Amino acid sequence: MEERDVVSWNSVIGGLVRGGEFEKPCKVFDEMPERDVVSWNIMLDGYAKAEEMGKVFEMFEGMPERNVVSWATMVWGYCRVGDMNMSRMLFDKCPGKNLVIWTTMISGYAEKGLVNEAIKL
């Protein structure tokens, strides 16, 4: 492509992540001249799928802006690896909770067999 915008860069990164790649999207992300919250969220999702929660947290901390998708990805990632305390801490800190993040936290509890916590939420 002669001209690349943030959408085309995000499409490449997203495709690589969906394809199970984790090193290549990092390289592309590093090469991006401009990033938006979607770029960052795609990378969070990729690292969470790879259960690289240290990298996910480091990236989350370095994000210039976050949205509810960023927060929900973090909650989901920590639920996925079974760190329900960290997941709940992030859930509690999330500003502007919506149906997605509530469902993510409740589902995380239920999937880990923590039915009482799920019902309380």
First-to-last alpha carbon distance for the chain, in angstroms, is 48
DSSP 51: T
Same domain? For 31 and 51 the reply is yes
Range of the domain at 34: 1-64
Same domain? For 1 and 51 the reply is yes
pLDDT band at 85, cuts 50/70/90? very high
Same domain? For 43 and 78 the reply is no
**What per-residue confidence (pLDDT) applies to 22?**
79
**What per-residue confidence (pLDDT) applies to 6?**
94
**What per-residue confidence (pLDDT) applies to 23?**
84
* Domain's final residue, options 18, 37, 64: 64
Same domain? For 112 and 72 the reply is yes
**Closest by alpha carbon to 113, among 90, 86, 71, 84?**
84
Q: In degrees rounded to 5, what are phi and psi of residue 87?
A: -60, -45
pLDDT in tens, 53-62: 999 999 999 9
Same domain? For 85 and 45 the reply is no
Q: What is the number of structural domains in the chain?
A: 2
**Element holding 120 (H helix, E strand):** helix 115-120
Query: Between these two residues, 54 and 22, which has the higher pLDDT value?
Result: 54
**Closest by alpha carbon to 21, among 30, 12, 31?**
12
- Tell me the mean pLDDT in the region 67-79: 96
Q: Where are the alpha helices (DSSP H) in 5-83?
A: 6-18, 23-31, 37-49, 53-62, 68-80
